[in-house]
Amino acid sequence: MRRSGSLSIAFEGGPGVGKSRLLAEARTIAEASGVTVVHGLYGEHGEFDRPLVVLLDDIHNSSTSDAEVFAGLRLKTANVPVVWCTSRRWGKPNSPLDSALASMAGPHRLFRLGPLDDRAAREMTRDLLSAEPDAALARMTASLSGHPQALRTLVEGLLEEGMVNVGVAARLTRPGLPEKFAGLVRRYLQDCSSSCTNLLLVASVLGRRLVLGELAEVLGTRPSHLLPDLREGVLAGLLSQDGDDVRFANELFRCVIRDSVPATARAAVREQADQHRARRFGAALAPAGWGTRRHAASGPAAKSARDPMAPRRTHKGTFSPAPLRRAEEPGGPAARQTGSVGPAPALVAQDASGNASVLSRRAQLPSGMTSTAIPGWDRLTEKQAVIAELAMQGLTNKGIAERLYLSPHTVNYHLRKIFHALSIRSRTDLVRIAHAPSALGTQEPASAGRPPTGGVPGPGHEHRSGRSAVLTAPGTVDTGHGPGRYRGRRTGGDRAVSATG
């Protein structure tokens, strides 16, 4: 304890990381030391003649009147040493009490609290269970990513609701999550705004990783309009952000939020997302038999699957290409009947290896790139072109598999074929050649954002103007200044690449 003056100690972190628990520990230590402890600003305060510890919780919610009471308490404690222990939610704007504390003379100590590491989380689990957890229970608690309050609530709920048997080891007696834990996650969700809650509900149905373009399509808005809600979700502790990657903080949080969505609503959200993927990636997602059993027999994808010209599965499990045909021309008979003009035509043909190659604007190359700039791209099948584009966007094998309803092993097989066709060795090489100046068509900067001369925008074309940044894909930002700098980071055994400039 200081002999004179004041000391400010602040604990900052997200919800449930232990800020209030640390203040309670500080109170216990102070009372054991024989000093006066004041909890909060309000109450009857007499004269102080010995060292003092003042505990202030959640000061980010303070008001101007709180700051005025704080100023009066400072005058009463001017002649005794004081330790001000405070806690606040990180990311929140500074409150009047924050400003008043920052203006005090004397040393300030700030401790930012994060999740527990793996060792500390295991020790906490053993202490709560009074036994060593078995493998299944250890995996469940480890999936919380070290969130202290969630871990304590989960274990207490399992014990109270009879879902775990404690003997020599602690083991789960039935599947599922305790209602006490689900209630905690729902309280976190209730603290969010209505728009953030809606985003989290929809995102929980689509998967743990959030893809801005897909979410914006399902929610009927622009990707840039989702940024405040994404930030709010991160500050609420329900989402986590690692560079350009935004996902749910842990899988159990996502499961509780997802299960709060009615089954019919979940099916509708998935169908809307499937339609978006079918529009974006073209016929690569059309045949319902390609690596999925849960593709509904309705909508654009199923309609394409019933097309007699679509690729068919043979008895050996391979796909035979469709006969040579030309897609409907814009303004052709069908278009004239409806009075509409569709996207640019696509030519379906067989290449030298017998595979079906669709040379459409979207499947052939990502928007803005030229086929002549990447040797070997015209040898890719449509599915391989889609996989290559998703790899350029930074998705891992697992992420690509989830988008295309394939297995990660199938994605890995196609990536090896892609690398061989393009004469490259890695994902880094794929991104490098795709974003080289010669591949981006930068000869006429003024034409950036306009469709090709004499044609109509392809299915994936987005108009851009000026220098404003546009989110074009998961993990990438197009600022209109040409290719950016790229950095690689290891994620899930794959090489994820994100734009930084």
CB 154 within 8 A of CB 140: yes
Tell me what percent of the residues of the chain surpass a pLDDT of 70: 67
Half-sphere exposure for 96 (CA within 13 Å, toward CB):
10
Domain 318-330+343-447 class, CATH top level: mainly alpha
Does the fold of domain 318-330+343-447 match that of domain 6-112? Answer: no
Provide the 3-class DSSP secondary structure of residue 288. coil
Coil vs helix vs strand at 438: helix
Q: Kindly report the backbone phi and psi dihedral angles of residue 157, in degrees, each rounded to the nearest multiple of 5, phi listed first.
A: -65, -40
Q: Rounded to an integer, what distance in angstroms lies between the CA atom of residue 161 and that of residue 165?
A: 11
Query: What is the CATH code for 6-112?
Result: 3.40.50.300
Q: Can you tell me the mean pLDDT for 421-445?
A: 69
Whole-angstrom Cα distance, residue 289 to residue 182? 36
| Joined tokens for residue 349 | 């043909």
For the ranges 158-162, 280-284, 294-298, 386-390, which has the lowest average pLDDT? 294-298
Q: Which residues contact 349 (CB under 8 A, 6 or more apart)?
A: 324, 356, 357, 359
Six-digit token string for 336: 């004239």
Confidence of residue 351 (pLDDT cuts 50, 70, 90): very low
Residue type, 182: A
pLDDT at 215: 92
Sign of CA pseudo-dihedral 86, 90, 96, 98:
positive
- Domain 191-261, CATH: 1.10.10.10
Task: Name the pLDDT band for 34 (thresholds 50, 70, 90).
Answer: confident
pLDDT at residue 87 in the model = 94
Give the model's pLDDT for residue 279: 80
Count of beta carbons in the 10 Å neighbourhood of residue 464: 18
Task: Give pLDDT tens digits for 294-349.
Answer: 444 444 444 443 343 344 444 444 333 333 333 333 444 443 343 333 333 333 33
> Residue 373 has what pLDDT?
56
**Helices and strands of the chain, counted as H and E runs:** 19, 19
Structure tokens at 252: 């159990």
From residue 106, give the alpha-carbon distance in Å to each of 9, 99, 103. 11, 15, 9
Question: Domain locations in the chain?
Answer: 6-112, 118-183, 191-261, 318-330+343-447
Backbone φ and ψ of 406, nearest 5°: -120, 170
Lookup: tokens for 171:
């083991």
pTM of the complete model: 0.58
Average pLDDT over every residue of 249-277: 92
pLDDT at 388 over 50: yes
Q: Tell me: pLDDT of 112 over 60.
A: yes
Of the listed ranges 99-103, 175-179, 287-291, 436-440, the one predicted with least confidence: 287-291
Residue type, 160: E
Q: What is the mean pLDDT of residues 200-212?
A: 91
**Does 78 have pLDDT greater than 90?**
no
* 69/282: higher pLDDT: 69
Contacts of 297 (CB under 8 A, 6+ apart): 288
Give residue 499's pLDDT band: very low, low, confident or very high (50, 70, 90): very low
Residues 45, 13 contacting (CB under 8 angstroms)? no
232 pLDDT above the threshold of 90: yes
User: What confidence tens digit (pLDDT) does each residue in 144-154 have?
Assistant: 999 999 999 99
- Angstrom distances, CA of residue 217 to CA of 124, 226, 277: 42, 11, 10
The pLDDT of residue 435 is above 90: no
